[in-house]
């Protein structure tokens, strides 16, 4: 029941956004846009979908210090995105940390900070991309302020993680002093924090972090090209700068509470961004729906193959995650 209650705000936001989109869209225009789209260009974006997933796996593989096999990292990355599509509360992030820790013999707490770092830097890239596009966007007043705030918070978060990584012994000693009256918490928390700080140490390795940023930049460039091709298939007059704003808006839309997979928020963000350039809500929605399929393609194929080769199911992983959560709650009581 607690999980259901936590789902309600996101479900309300998704339903309201879907209703708003459907209210403004002309379905005949939408269908015509889908029929007349340039499918040769869309085929190119479909290929880039798999290139993007391979690049995203390389990003995470670098943060993991190349400890797992790359092929395991690739399948696990796709499995995580597939889990996020169907499971609430972005459990796919926890799921891929759980899965790769079993495959590579790493501790869960060591893997988790790599995902946190990846997501924080993702936010920095999305804020930077949005800021780069804003001077070319009419009617986006106020977005610049939000982007600066997000960018500032992200940089502050990275600096704090760096400080923690550099002073992990002090942080562990402080935790042990504060939790001395709770032996079970001290035992579990101390072990988790030790492995967490070990994973966080990637920030202090300059060459490793530079490699990570290189692969991350290349991965975002792949996404920009793919989204530009998707937009170009429906709007032949599309300019590359449109893609900067669309992708930045989509990234922020995904951070809003919603149903699993960002249903409604993703479509709303992409559609609204395109409408600022074109004024065509119906064709803009066609682009958003195609981008949704683009996101499902790589995780569905690669993630599905990964689950089958490991004998896993979505429901089975979900149950394992719930068991893991319940176990942690029991140990902390």
Tens of pLDDT, residue by residue, the chain (333 residues): 555 666 676 678 778 888 888 888 889 999 999 999 999 999 999 999 999 999 999 999 999 999 999 999 999 999 999 888 887 667 788 889 889 988 888 888 888 888 888 888 888 888 788 777 877 775 555 555 666 776 677 778 778 877 877 787 777 777 777 777 777 666 656 666 776 776 677 778 888 888 998 999 999 999 999 999 999 999 999 999 899 889 888 887 766 766 777 778 888 889 988 998 998 999 999 999 999 999 899 999 999 999 888 887 777 887 777 776 666 555 555
Q: Are 195 and 109 in contact (CB under 8 A)?
A: yes
CA dist., res. 67 & res. 114, Å (int)? 12
Phi, psi of 263 (to 5 degrees): -60, 125
Helices assigned H by DSSP within the chain: 2-24, 27-36, 39-63, 70-86, 91-104, 108-133, 143-166, 168-178, 183-200, 206-234, 240-253, 265-278, 281-298, 304-310, 314-332
Q: Are 139 and 260 in contact (CB under 8 A)?
A: no
DSSP annotation string for 61-96: HHHTTT-S-HHHHHHHHHHHHHHHHHSSTTHHHHHH
CA dist., res. 303 & res. 292, Å (int)? 16
- Domain edges within the chain: 40-332
CA dist., res. 230 & res. 287, Å (int)? 7
- Looking at residue 222, its pLDDT comes to 96
């Amino acid at each position: 029941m607690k999980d259901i209650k936590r789902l309600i705000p996101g479900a309300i936001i998704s339903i309201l956004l879907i209703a708003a989109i459907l209210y403004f869209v002309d379905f005949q225009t939408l269908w015509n846009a889908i029929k007349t789209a340039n499918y040769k260009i869309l085929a190119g974006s479909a290929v880039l979908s798999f290139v993007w997933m391979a690049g995203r796996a390389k990003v995470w593989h670098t943060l993991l210090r190349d400890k797992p096999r790359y092929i395991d990292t690739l399948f696990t990355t796709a499995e995580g995105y597939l889990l996020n599509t169907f499971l609430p509360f972005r459990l796919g992030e926890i799921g891929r940390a759980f899965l790769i820790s079993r495959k590579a013999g790493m501790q869960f707490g060591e893997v988790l900070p790599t995902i946190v770092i990846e997501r924080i830097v993702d936010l920095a890239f999305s804020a930077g991309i949005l800021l780069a596009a804003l001077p070319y966007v009419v009617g986006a007043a106020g977005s610049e302020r939000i982007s600066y705030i997000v960018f500032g918070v992200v940089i502050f978060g990275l600096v704090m993680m760096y400080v923690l990584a550099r002073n992990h012994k002090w942080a562990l000693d402080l935790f042990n002093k504060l939790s001395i009256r709770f032996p079970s918490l001290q035992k579990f928390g101390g072990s988790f924090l030790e492995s967490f700080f070990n994973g966080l140490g990637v920030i202090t390795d300059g060459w490793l972090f530079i490699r990570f940023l290189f692969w991350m930049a290349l991965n975002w460039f792949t996404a920009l090209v793919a989204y530009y091709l998707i937009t170009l298939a429906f709007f032949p007059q599309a300019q590359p700068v449109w893609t900067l704003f669309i992708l930045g808006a989509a990234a922020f839309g995904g951070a809003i509470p919603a149903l699993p997979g960002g249903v409604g928020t993703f479509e709303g963000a992409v559609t609204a961004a395109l409408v600022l350039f074109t004024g065509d809500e119906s064709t803009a929605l066609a682009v958003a729906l195609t981008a949704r399929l683009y996101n499902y393609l790589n995780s569905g194929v690669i993630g599905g193959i990964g689950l089958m080769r490991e004998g896993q199911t979505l429901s089975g992983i979900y149950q394992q995650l719930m068991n893991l959560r319940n176990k942690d709650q029991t140990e902390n009581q």
